[in-house]
């Protein structure tokens, strides 16, 4: 394929991913609109106790249970998850083709980092969904990812160009790949932290954890806080590695490990905020809503580190390509 064809194929794959994400968002929204999530387990149906071989009691249930149709909300959520997987692989193709077109890793400017960061968000969400049911979270992951891609293709898009000398290093792969994974994890943590605050408010108003309304389709605020803590506990060491790797790269590129450049400063601020979150989670009186607010503040600091420095601040790290 020629460079023009590669560029067109990459752009087409990104737009196709946005289309499937839009459909996924619609189905996830339909799942929430269907009402309270009900269990389809057979525990709610009458059972018969029969005597098996050797006098062992065997519990049987009506054969029709296995053939019972899925609830509308559950069916919509399943379709939304399938579309999210499709969008992930489509976006992966777009990112790979962008790299082939550029002849390097596709992280040389803000557009390329943005589409790869969106891929990281979807990737972290889908990997976690393999071990636990996260269909209730799909709407709150797909929507910001779609907005992120929309911003990338409308505002941040730029043609592929050669890397500036400072970026021509294997540390680009090490440092940025860690940052991309952290972006996905921090975004997921921000979603669960925000939902925990919303759910906690509903539980407080209704005076029970068995709430009514659209928030009934998600776990309790306590479970959401536990999930947030697990995601941050996973990503915080990786972010620590990314900061250290960036310092080593800075020494190779500029002859110093740390110079309090704006991006270095905000990377450190982000690290401090998430360290404060983990400390708050282990401190009596700070667990719960207070810790969730800190997790959201950490995500905001990460966004400032990315958008603010690259667009509005004159920095050694300003590689926006805009």
pLDDT the model gives residue 109: 84
Cα–Cα distance, 158 to 160 (Å, whole number): 6
| pLDDT at 319 (0 to 100) | 57
Assess if residue 45 is contained within a domain: no
For residue 291, being part of any structural domain is answered with yes
Query: How many domains are contained in the chain?
Result: 1
Residue 76 lies in a domain: yes
- At 318 the pLDDT is 60
In a domain, 61, yes or no: no
Give domain status of residue 321, yes or no: no
Q: Encode the chain in three state secondary structure.
A: CCHHHHHHHHHHHHHHHHHHHHHHHHHHHHHHHCCCCCCCCHHHCCCEEEECHHHCEEEECCHHHHHCCCCHHHHHHHHHHHHHHHHHHHHHHHHHHHHHHHCCCCCCCHHHHHHHHHHHHHHHHHHHHHHCCCHHHHHHHHHHHHHHHHHHHHHHCCCCCCCCHHHCCCHHHHHHHHHHHHHHHHHHHHHHHHHHHHHHHHHHHHCCCCCCCHHHHCCCHHHHHHHHHHHHHHHHHHHHHHHHHHHHHHHHHHCCCCCCCHHHHHHHHHHHHHHHHHHHHCCCCCCCHHHHHHHHHHHHHHHHHHHHHHHHCCCCCCCCCC
Q: What angle do CA 21, 26, 30 make, to 5 degrees?
A: 145
Let me know: does 291 contact 225? Beta carbons within 8 Å: yes
Report how far residue 221's alpha carbon sits from residue 240's, in angstroms, rounded to the nearest whole number.
28
∠ CA(243), CA(247), CA(250), 5° rounding?
135
- The residue range of the domain holding 92 is 3-36+70-312
Assigned domain for 44 exists: no
42 in a domain, yes or no?
A: no
Domain annotation covers residue 46: no
Query: Rounded to whole angstroms, how far apart are CA atoms 272 and 277?
Result: 9
Would you give per-residue pLDDT tens digits along the chain (322 residues)? 777 888 899 999 999 999 999 999 999 999 888 765 544 333 333 444 444 445 444 444 444 433 334 466 788 999 999 999 999 999 999 999 999 988 888 887 889 989 999 999 999 999 999 989 999 999 999 999 999 999 999 988 888 777 666 677 788 888 889 999 999 999 999 999 999 999 999 999 988 888 888 888 889 999 999 999 999 999 999 999 999 998 898 888 778 888 888 888 999 999 999 999 999 988 877 777 889 999 999 999 999 988 777 777 666 666 555 5
Q: What are phi and psi of 164, to 5 degrees?
A: -65, 155
Q: What is the predicted pLDDT for the residue at 320?
A: 52
In a 10 Å sphere around its CB, with 0-12 CB exposed, 13-18 middle and 19+ buried, how is residue 51 labelled?
Answer: exposed
pLDDT at site 315: 64
């Amino acid at each position: 394929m020629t460079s023009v064809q590669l560029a067109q194929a990459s752009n087409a794959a990104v737009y196709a991913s946005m289309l499937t994400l839009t459909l996924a968002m619609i189905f996830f929204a339909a799942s929430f609109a269907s009402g309270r999530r009900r269990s389809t387990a057979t525990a709610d149906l009458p059972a018969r106790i029969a005597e098996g071989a050797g006098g062992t009691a065997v519990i049987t249930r009506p054969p029709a249970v296995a053939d019972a149709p899925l609830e509308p909300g559950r069916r919509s959520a399943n379709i939304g998850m399938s579309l999210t997987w499709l969008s992930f692989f489509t976006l992966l193709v777009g990112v790979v083709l962008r790299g082939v077109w550029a002849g390097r890793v596709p992280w040389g400017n803000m557009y390329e980092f943005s589409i790869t960061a969106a891929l990281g968000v979807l990737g972290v969400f889908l990997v976690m969904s393999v071990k636990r049911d996260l269909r209730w979270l799909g709407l709150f992951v797909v929507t910001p990812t779609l907005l992120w891609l929309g911003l990338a293709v409308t505002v941040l898009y730029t043609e592929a160009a050669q890397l500036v000398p400072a970026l021509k290093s294997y540390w680009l792969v090490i440092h940025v790949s860690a940052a991309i994974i952290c972006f996905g994890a921090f975004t997921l943590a921000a979603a669960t932290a925000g939902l925990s605050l919303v759910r906690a408010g509903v539980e407080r108003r209704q005076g029970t954890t068995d709430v009514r309304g659209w928030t009934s389709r998600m776990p309790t605020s306590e479970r959401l806080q536990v999930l947030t803590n697990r995601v941050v506990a996973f990503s915080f060491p990786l972010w620590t590695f990314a900061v250290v790797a960036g310092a080593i790269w800075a020494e190779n590129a500029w002859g110093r490990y740390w110079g309090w450049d704006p991006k270095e400063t905000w990377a450190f601020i982000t690290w401090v905020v998430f360290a404060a979150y983990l400390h708050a989670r282990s401190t009596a009186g700070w667990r719960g809503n207070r810790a969730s607010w800190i997790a959201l503040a950490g995500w905001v600091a990460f966004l400032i580190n990315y958008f603010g420095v690259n667009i509005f601040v004159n920095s050694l790290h300003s590689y926006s390509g805009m």
